[in-house]
Amino acid sequence: MNGSTSALKNLLQWACMLKNKHISKIFYRLSYFSIWIYFSTSCVNPNQPYSVQNDTSSGNAPGWFIAIGGGKRTDTLLSHIIRYCDLRPGDTVWIAPMASEEPDSAYWYVAFDFERMGLIPKPYVFYTRPDYYPPDTARVKLVFFTGGDQNRLMQSLSLADVLDDLNKYRLSGGHIAGTSAGAAVMSEYMITGNQLKYPEYEATFSRLIADNVELMSGAGFLRSCIIDQHFIARSRYNRLISALFELPMLNGIGVEESSAIVTDDSVAVAIGSGQIVQIRAGTPKRREDLIGFGDLTMHIHLPGDTFYLK
């Protein structure tokens, strides 16, 4: 209990002791008024995300993983990212556009958004090991992976030492964010977007059948969940449920456009302008090609909601 809470408790107890005395009404009302002031000023501002604090007792706190559902990077979303990453005007953001077929354009679109928020964007591009250099917190506060094709991005991330270096960077206080494909790669298991039984691409799956969703190894930053993006806008429920049939031990996290989760892989907070869908699977069951579950729990988190992944 902090000092402010303890003082208010003592004030309330004192007022209760005075209930039968002449001045009891003054102190009794004062105590409740003080408590009302304390809690009303301590509540979460509905226009800002709920605050989740890292433990800084052992030195630098680890940074956050931020998985963005694609779409527009609204001022609301950007301001929340800046807040959680504790970014200040003039801080540097490295933008990695390797997922895109047009990396120059992908870089400039994201760079423009961060520039107008007072930050300094720099390109972070590597396709081969000689092109690669590791991030460090002395030079960059946030590494941001753009959208595109998650399979293309994983080719760069699979180069020697890259994932180890990114994990060390995050543990030393650096933050790692990704939008769309850049969010999909964060899971240990990655939804590629392809259907194994229906090769023609669909933005969502039109059926719930076994052995259809293609899963590949992701970056493994998040081991408690599997991420899908553009989730509500493209109605990707069938796709995520198909993945959970294969991996029922994981949380299915559907991130809507212009929205994100900020997480350490244990607790998460929803930020941005839309919802986060969390699906927990029960026992999977199958009859021929059809898939089912003994139970399936869905939570729809609003901006500012905090929830657990473990």
List, by residue number, the catalytic residues.
180, 230, 257
Q: Report which DSSP code applies to 133.
A: -
**For 221, what's the count of Cα atoms within 13 Å in the CB-facing half-sphere?**
32
- Which residue carries 């509540």 as its tokens? 43
Q: Residues 102, 149: contact at Cβ < 8 Å?
A: no
Residues 6+ apart with CB under 8 A from 278: 251, 252, 253, 254, 298, 299, 300, 301, 307
Q: Residues 303, 259: contact at Cβ < 8 Å?
A: yes
Rounded to the nearest 10°, the torsion over CA 64, 150, 110, 47 is: -50
Q: Residues 272, 282: contact at Cβ < 8 Å?
A: no
The neighbour count for residue 70, using CB atoms within 10 Å, is 24
Residue 129 tokens read as 């090991």
Phi first, then psi: what are they for 2, rounded to 5°?
-80, 170
Residue 90 tokens read as 């003039």
